[in-house]
Structure 1
Amino acid sequence: GNINDARAGPVSVTLTNGKVLILGGNGNSGYLNTAELYDPSIGIWTRTGNMNNARANPTAARLTTRKVLALGGYDGSYLNTAELYDPSTGNWTTTGSMNVARDPPAVCILTDGRVLATGGETSGGVILNSAELYDPSTGTWTTTGNMSISRKGPTASLLTNGTVLVVGGYSGSTYFNTTELYSPSTGLWTAGPSMHTARGYYAASTLLDGTVMASGGTNGGSIVNSVELY
């Protein structure tokens, strides 16, 4: 079935019950705070609770608590706000705001349940190299080490050893083939192996064996159809 609201720039998350939550985006009449649930058993979308903040280009992640964290994005201004969706009630509650507005951040759930948010674009069109950590037990954000490169449109993937791989992205003038590795134990970044092709705004997937796949994207001069594995 079709979603109830037309949306450009939403985000979706698969819940632990198998349903899919879609939220935010830019609609025909402005930025959206609405959210919907897809039930694969009947193929239908139904409305659920509205977010407290309309968000286009947000990021969202399912926490180990089964709640969904939605953060950042844009509603005419760059957003640092975050909120939690409770699938058991269908309601959203605000949680701690990020230290920096990010549209959109790259996000990864760490093995200890904390959330890493890094990069993105902020007020004035500044591309960020900063990163911060969300602790679900306290609902607060703390800053952590900065990436070596400011990046918008990268991805962040958890590796089997617990480190986070951030790949590619865009500086505002240059697309990157470089990668960086974040160590949660030290809060520091180190250079990773470079891709063969620079790419931003691409799709990343983690395969069952822990391999990270980067597919498509753009390098500024062309749309990319290549795929790389790490």
Structure 2
Amino acid sequence: MSIRICAAVVAVVVAGCSTPPTPTVVPPSLAELDQRAKAALAPREAFDALGGRFERDTPAADSDQGEEGETVANVCNSTKPLFVDRGTSIARSRGWVGGVPLYERVHAMSVLDGEVLVGEVRRQADRCTQQLPLGFLLANLPIVKPEGVADLYAYCQKSYEPDSPWWSCHAFLARDQLLAEVVVSSDHQDLAVSQLTSVVPIAAGPLVKA
């Protein structure tokens, strides 16, 4: 009798120590990524108070799926543009004209964290400061990271066209598997930086909630 009891106790202990199976994580579908990218874009009326007037969406129809595998960044026209290199991704874009010529693209990714891509953009910009003539790139702009955003990096780049005063200022904002790029353009460097500083907190709102 005692042998049977001991065997039962051992069986219970062994069963209690067994490792439970690891749950299978199912990555989001393209349709789910598309819905998240759509939710993270700044609304069409978001920049009305700054003079930015909605112009276009890409894709044009809300019912159309965003683009897969879009370029994330190409700092100083690098020969190696930055892409999402793990899992799948969907990107949607929106543009505004008027007082603030503005463009936003949001990437929703299945596995890659947006912080990884912001880090890559930061490294590309650092390399560019060593390659471009002085005054063509303003790296690491001191823009305050909005609450809820995991990482932010911003820079401005002058046009390569001879005698062109045009500047494009870019801000990259990351939150888990989302990455938003906001671009403001102006023919005055100081104005482009000022406008980018103003629009970043507005763009961060829907990104953090998505």
Would the TM-score normalized by the shorter structure come out above 0.5? no
TM-score when normalising by structure 2: 0.26
User: Quick check: which has more Rg, 1 or 2?
Assistant: 2
Higher relative contact order (CA 8 A, sep 6+): 2
Which structure is higher in helix share?
2
> Greater strand share, 1 or 2?
1
